[in-house]
Amino acid sequence: MKKSIGIDLGTTNSAAAIKKIRVEVLKNAEGDFITPSCVTVRKRLMRKPEFIVGRHALEWLRQEPENTITAVKRLIGRNFHDQEVQDLLKSGRLHCSLSAHSHGSHNSIAIQVGGREFSPEEISAQILAKIKADAERVLGDEVATAVITVPAYFNDKQKHATRTAAALAGLKVSRLLPEPTAAAISFGVDQVASDEGKTVLVFDFGGGTLDLSLLAISGGQIIEIAKGGDMWLGGEDIDGLIISHVLRETADQEGMDDIRLRALIARQEPGQRNRLLTELKLAAEKAKISLSNSPEASIVVLGLLEDEDGDPLAIEVELCQEQLEELLAPTLELVRCLVRNLLADAHFTADLIDHVLLVGGSSRIPCVIKILQQEFGADKVLLHERPMLAVAEGAAILSHRLSGVLECPACGGEATQNSPACPHCKFDLENYNLQHGLVDIVHAAAHDYFIRLENNSRFLLIKKNTPLPCSSTEIFQLVDAEQELVHMQFYNVVNGREESIGDLWLGIDHDSGPASTAETAAGMAEEPLRVAITLDIDENNLVSVRAALCGQPEVKVSGTLSRGKADEKLFLLLESIINEADQKGYSTYTVADLLCRARGIIRSIHQVVDERTGEVNENLFRQIAEKISKAGKIAEAEEAPLTRIYYAESMLTDYGMLIEPALQMQIRKKVARLREVDEEGTCEETMQAMEELAKILENPGLEAVHALTQIESACEICHRSEPDKAKRFMRATAEILAAAEAGEEPSLAQVQNIMPEVEEVLDQHARSIQKIHRGIRK
């Protein structure tokens, strides 16, 4: 039978567990319960690169730090330009190089290891693949599904990326479970009787993150009331503090100042420097861990540092618990603040908390435990027996429950969850479940979800801690009556910083040609349109959005948000040419042409990534990228081929009876040619076809038809602003048409007197600078 397991995919360490009768943490191929989340990628001649994962990769970190990636979880679902990623790059903690991914959006991350580029998802997939393979070895069966834990702070993009990693590793994710909730399950808090509600604070202090979660447990339900913590605070930061202390002490011992010692390290040959920093980090971590049990520890690194004269410099520093506590004082203060903020956020006080559950390796540090005991009282603070495995255990328990298999409370045998009685001992399962309830974990929105309004203000769509699933629909007004594009930008605010979770674009075809900004003004409602925007978050925290025009529900767009993939790259390209057009201030027809192209491009971009599989249609991607580049060039040349087509086609439809059939045919051919090259050809071919069409339209036989078409356009432009003028123009048109119907040759003489006015109206319209509106307001 295929197995379902629980996986703690940690920043520093990962672990897997399964629940049979009891929960068992699974040993990996090396015989350890914990697999370091570390991947080395080794280049091989003429063959695919080799991936080394876990403890062996940690060993390779010493020899090939540039090909080894640790803490990939810090990068998953993030943007290259995110402050956190840039900070990580500057911190020197990363041994390998990062760049913007050449295939995803300019913002997605590429990790350069083993001579190739990998996405954080691909690297995480290697860790998951090892966990899956090792679990299969121990269980002797295929592992098909897993509950994978993620930090409570993960946003939608990071969760989606985690799912992608699992899919790449051949795992089906039955649930992404917040780590603190998993930890709480492993403490057995779901055993609380239905009439005995409890509030617990899960304090999960791991290698890379501090996750705080306030949970209410009652009636067979675990409800997240609030979350907090810091995604960038963990054991690694503590190691960093110890390293700084060790360098200060070493400098002291050598009678030099700290800066000179750091300069010495910086001047070392890169390979040697990396080895030194790696050894220093390992020694600092080892000392930290032993200080959790003993009063003193030493940090020794020999033979890897030399002074300016090439003489060896030994690093040998003693550290005691009191010194560590001193070093950690600011960190401990921050921890205290984060805990208090969380309580304040949820309108709780410390005395209302029943238990504080400590999980994660860093929660073993005595002074961390002391802080929590001071805040809550010693009796409430419970340390997990296996703090580094608690999360995997909780995930395994949920995974087992979701697999639909139930453990009979009477005999321990397996039964399906909806069976009324145990097939082994006939125990009344239905009644038992009714009384005790099946634990149902109710998730809550991890963050506030905002949409950006015109002038950069924000509107709250979903409030943090709203129970999931949830949905919010709000009506917004477009900023302009003639607006043809709506750019919806969604984001979270995490630790006071805005984090984009994706954009959505909607193109509005005002059901008129590209030349018709004036027509739109004349024919459409004078009030700006309204758009209904819905944001849904399902129980797995997956965010999807929908937008539809009020009164025109067929004008709509929906989807999961763009996630740093090919579609986002195209939207960014499109946005950049629109921004440029806006800055340069193009005139009416150029803007109308650009908007018409943008609408088509938006429709196509929505088809580039398969929503279900995430696959990119490479051909379509290239075609759209070319179309965007062409649209930019045409706008820059202040040209408007689509406007020309529209003009010629209006002439033929409205005044065809006044044009010689042979000439009509020639115009049609040139229009068809222009359409074709505009769609498929180069920019130069389009310009050429446009000139050819213009030449045909210069035919003297078309003079009156031009006049009529121009009068009609002018009429539409004046329709609202100068109705009297529009009426006069209309009368002139009617006269020519009446004469033509009476068999007279249409003559310009009949409209000679109004043409200067018509030309002035058209000229003014053509020259006016158009702003491209994209925003919404409440």
8 A C-beta contact, residue 305 and residue 313: yes
For the segment 737-766, give every residue that binds ligand AMP (CB under 6 A): none
Distance between CA atoms of residues 387 and 364, nearest Å: 8
Distances (CA, A) of 461 to 451, 489, 544, 744: 7, 12, 13, 65
Read off the DSSP letter of residue 616.
B
Q: How far is the CB of 286 from ligand AMP (least distance, A)?
A: 9
Q: How far is the CB of 392 from ligand AMP (least distance, A)?
A: 10
Does position 237 bind ligand AMP by CB under 6 A?
Answer: no
- Closer of 289 and 740 to ligand AMP (Cβ): 289
- Closer of 183 and 758 to ligand AMP (Cβ): 183
- Closer of 236 and 567 to ligand AMP (Cβ): 236
- Closer of 119 and 292 to ligand AMP (Cβ): 292
Does position 206 bind ligand AMP by CB under 6 A?
Answer: yes
- Closer of 234 and 394 to ligand AMP (Cβ): 234
Q: Please, what is the angle between helix 235-253 and helix 270-291, to 10°?
A: 110
Which of 624, 559, 637, 621 has its CA nearest to residue 598? Answer: 624
Does position 388 bind ligand AMP by CB under 6 A?
Answer: yes
What tokens were used for 107?
Answer: 């913002």
Q: Which stretch binds ligand AMP (CB under 6 A): 22-30, 233-241, 433-441, 693-701?
A: 233-241
From 6, 180, 235, 514, residue interacting with ligand AMP (rule: CB under 6 A): 235
Q: How far is the CB of 35 from ligand AMP (least distance, A)?
A: 10
Site string for ligand AMP, 2-41 (x = CB under 6 A): --------xxxx----------------------------
Q: How far is the CB of 438 from ligand AMP (least distance, A)?
A: 29
What tokens were used for 40?
Answer: 């080395």
Q: How far is the CB of 99 from ligand AMP (least distance, A)?
A: 27
Beta bridge partners of 298: 318
Does position 362 bind ligand AMP by CB under 6 A?
Answer: yes
- Our measurement of the distance from residue 58's CA atom to the centroid of its chain's CA atoms, rounded to an integer in Å, reads 29
8 A C-beta contact, residue 227 and residue 154: no
Read off the DSSP letter of residue 753.
T
Q: How far is the CB of 594 from ligand AMP (least distance, A)?
A: 51
From 130, 245, 355, 364, residue interacting with ligand AMP (rule: CB under 6 A): 364
Q: Which stretch binds ligand AMP (CB under 6 A): 158-166, 232-240, 333-341, 649-657?
A: 232-240
Instruction: Determine if the peptide bond prior to 366 is cis (ω within 30°).
Output: no
Distances (CA, A) of 115 to 45, 49, 63, 111, 484: 11, 9, 16, 10, 45
From 114, 360, 394, 564, residue interacting with ligand AMP (rule: CB under 6 A): 360
Task: Quickly list DSSP for 231-281.
Answer: TT-SHHHHHHHHHHHHHHHHHHHTT--HHHHHHHHHHS-HHHHHHHHHHHH
For the segment 437-496, give every residue that binds ligand AMP (CB under 6 A): none
Q: How far is the CB of 72 from ligand AMP (least distance, A)?
A: 13
Which of 243, 286, 284, 283 has its CA nearest to residue 265? Answer: 243
Task: Quickly list DSSP for 305-352.
Answer: -B-TTS-B--EEEEEEHHHHHHHTHHHHHHHHHHHHHHHHHTT--GGG
Q: Write the CB contacts of 379 (distance below 8 Å, at least 6 apart in sequence).
A: none
Beta bridge partners of 552: 549
Q: CA angle, 61 as apex, 59 and 67 as ends, to 5°?
A: 130
Distances (CA, A) of 719 to 17, 519, 649, 712, 722: 73, 9, 22, 10, 6
Does position 599 bind ligand AMP by CB under 6 A?
Answer: no
- Closer of 237 and 536 to ligand AMP (Cβ): 237
Alpha helices, DSSP H, located in 427-475: 429-436
Does position 186 bind ligand AMP by CB under 6 A?
Answer: no
Q: How far is the CB of 205 from ligand AMP (least distance, A)?
A: 8
Which of 634, 730, 619, 750 has its CA nearest to residue 682? Answer: 634
Q: How far is the CB of 12 from ligand AMP (least distance, A)?
A: 4
From 207, 564, 632, 746, residue interacting with ligand AMP (rule: CB under 6 A): 207
Half-sphere exposure of 489 (CA within 13 A, CB side): 18
Amino acid identity for residue 157 in this structure:
K
Q: How far is the CB of 329 from ligand AMP (least distance, A)?
A: 17
Q: How far is the CB of 173 from ligand AMP (least distance, A)?
A: 20
- Closer of 178 and 207 to ligand AMP (Cβ): 207
Does position 639 bind ligand AMP by CB under 6 A?
Answer: no
- Closer of 234 and 514 to ligand AMP (Cβ): 234
Amino acid identity for residue 172 in this structure:
K
Q: How far is the CB of 52 from ligand AMP (least distance, A)?
A: 20
Q: How far is the CB of 243 from ligand AMP (least distance, A)?
A: 13
Site string for ligand AMP, 280-309 (x = CB under 6 A): -----x--xx--x-----------------
Q: Which stretch binds ligand AMP (CB under 6 A): 63-71, 222-230, 231-239, 609-617?
A: 231-239
Query: How many of the chain's residues bind ligand AMP (CB under 6 A)?
Result: 19
Q: How far is the CB of 143 from ligand AMP (least distance, A)?
A: 21
Q: 16-50 b/e with 16+ CB inside 10 Å = b?
A: bbbbeeebbbbbbeeeebbbbbbbbbbeeeeeeee
Interface residues toward ligand AMP, by CB under 6 A: 10-13, 206-207, 234-236, 285, 288-289, 292, 360-362, 364-365, 388
